[in-house]
Amino acid sequence: MDVKLELVIIPVSDVDRAKDFYVNKLGFNADHDRVVSDEIRFVQLTPPGSACSIAFGKGLTDAEPGTVKGLQAVVKDADAIHAELVGRGAEVSDVQDLPWGRFVYFTDPDGNGWSLQQIVIPDFTNGGA
């Protein structure tokens, strides 16, 4: 049986500010922005190349804004994504080199935490370094 994660709800306090951040600072694709009723607005965005989207809006979750931590996406090149995001005006960490990958960290305007991982396969012919 296949199981495909396709949508993650992110709690935000200001829908327009969050949409601006994810689209303009991070380059996510704006898939949907629908006002369903006075109580519900649904915004869906997808990172370039991803099969999984994020959604936020009004009336979608009771979670407190900024409480989602540990969101992780995989990138081909941590240095390139770092340069691109900085060029877009996003505040991101320096590239962190760890034994299990190279990471760039950031938070959205509400404090929801993300990491972008470049997977690094150790060279075991040289003792794993």
Q: What confidence score (pLDDT) does residue 121 get?
A: 83
Model pTM?
0.90
pLDDT along the chain (129 residues), means of 10: 95 98 98 97 97 97 97 97 98 96 98 97 65
How much is the pLDDT for 125?
Answer: 67
Distance CA 11, CA 110 (A): 8
Class of domain 7-60+67-126: alpha beta
Helix (H, G, I), strand (E, B) or coil at 90: coil
Q: How far apart are CA 70 and CA 38, in angstroms?
A: 31
Q: What is the pLDDT of residue 127?
A: 58
pLDDT of residue 72: 96
Spatial contact of 75 and 118, defined as CB atoms under 8 Å apart: yes
Q: How far apart are CA 21 and CA 62, in angstroms?
A: 21
The continuous run of DSSP H or E covering 33 comes out as strand 29-35
Can you say how many angstroms the Cα of residue 66 is from the centroid of all Cα atoms in its chain?
13
Where along the chain do its domains lie? Answer: 7-60+67-126
